[in-house]
Amino acid sequence: MFIHGFPVNGFAWRDVLDDLAPARRCIALDLMGLGYTEIKADQNLGFDQQATMIAAFMDRMGLSQVDLVGNDSGASISQVFAAHYPSRLRSLTLTNCEVHDLWPNAMLKAAFDQFADPSIVVGMKAMLGAPNIARQAFASVYEDAERIPDEAFTTYFEPLLSSEERSDSMRRFLNLGNLKVLTSIAPQLRELKVPTLIAWGEADTAFDLKSPEWLKNNIGGVKRLIMVPRAKLFFPEEHPKLMSVLLQEFWRSIA
């Protein structure tokens, strides 16, 4: 099961899923408040509630266990899920994400401030009509935003701009209250026995390079930490073959 970050959706995993589909059943879930999910206007979008939603989705799908893979906030939510539902995981893979109290840095604080301003919706509507503007805006999170097709930006932004309520939900997703959530689960992560892979883009500007070391030293089941040269926040989308190879090697090693 693949969990995306902000402000993208499950489509970010499209090429990884295509690569793994011959050997695995793959599901990319849209988080509440992003993608094509439908939620109540007052829905709590915190990491705790997102983890509960994943568990409920698994129940509905009849899934007792999954190999959970997360990127960006999806990997942070995956940490929370692992802390609360360890028996429901066969393995855990984390890529660049919020970690404990090592965030937000200056770049992320600026992003939070930007999305707190309702005028961000006007800018995103401009990006929807001009993907090249979106590529410029997202240059800091992609190694080479030119790799990302127009279709991706359309798929990411259309549902978020489809109504004022959906845009408000997107903006509410960014919540510094999740800092408390991530610091609170440290004891459970230290006790976690689930086999865990950490794959981290070295050139990420959103999250501190101390973060993967913190995960390595504070998650009980870590089997391997891989640093990916030149890779940025959304490297699993840019380098799907690399991601699928890393996952298959990891899964084989713990089988």
CB 213 within 8 A of CB 187: no
Confidence of residue 25 (pLDDT cuts 50, 70, 90): very high
Q: Comparing C-alpha atoms, which of 2, 80, 69 is closest to residue 35?
A: 2
- Report the number of secondary-structure helices (H) and strands (E) in the chain: 13, 6
Confidence of residue 160 (pLDDT cuts 50, 70, 90): very high
- What does the pLDDT look like over 98-146, one tens digit per residue? 999 999 999 999 999 999 999 999 999 999 989 999 999 999 999 999 9
Q: Which residue has the tokens 């509960």?
A: 52
Neighbouring CB atoms inside 10 A of 16's CB total 23
Helix (H, G, I), strand (E, B) or coil at 196: strand
> Across all residues in the chain, what is the average pLDDT?
97
pLDDT at 247: 98
- What does the pLDDT look like over 192-235, one tens digit per residue? 999 999 999 999 999 999 999 999 999 999 999 999 999 999 99
pLDDT at 52: 98
pLDDT at 237: 98
Confidence of residue 24 (pLDDT cuts 50, 70, 90): very high
- What does the pLDDT look like over 236-251, one tens digit per residue? 999 999 999 999 999 9
Helix (H, G, I), strand (E, B) or coil at 4: coil
Instruction: Give the residue-averaged pLDDT of 148-170.
Output: 96
Confidence of residue 58 (pLDDT cuts 50, 70, 90): very high
CA dist., res. 201 & res. 80, Å (int): 21
My answer on whether omega of the bond before 212 falls inside 30° of 0, hence cis, is: no
pLDDT at 61: 97
Helix (H, G, I), strand (E, B) or coil at 91: strand
CA dist., res. 207 & res. 142, Å (int): 14
- What does the pLDDT look like over 68-102, one tens digit per residue? 999 999 999 999 999 999 999 999 999 999 999 99
CA dist., res. 86 & res. 152, Å (int): 33
Helix (H) or strand (E) holding 69: strand 66-70
Structure tokens at 105: 């840095």
pLDDT at 134: 95
DSSP 197-227: EEEEETT-SSS-THHHHHHHHH-TTEEEEEE
Structure tokens at 53: 């939603």
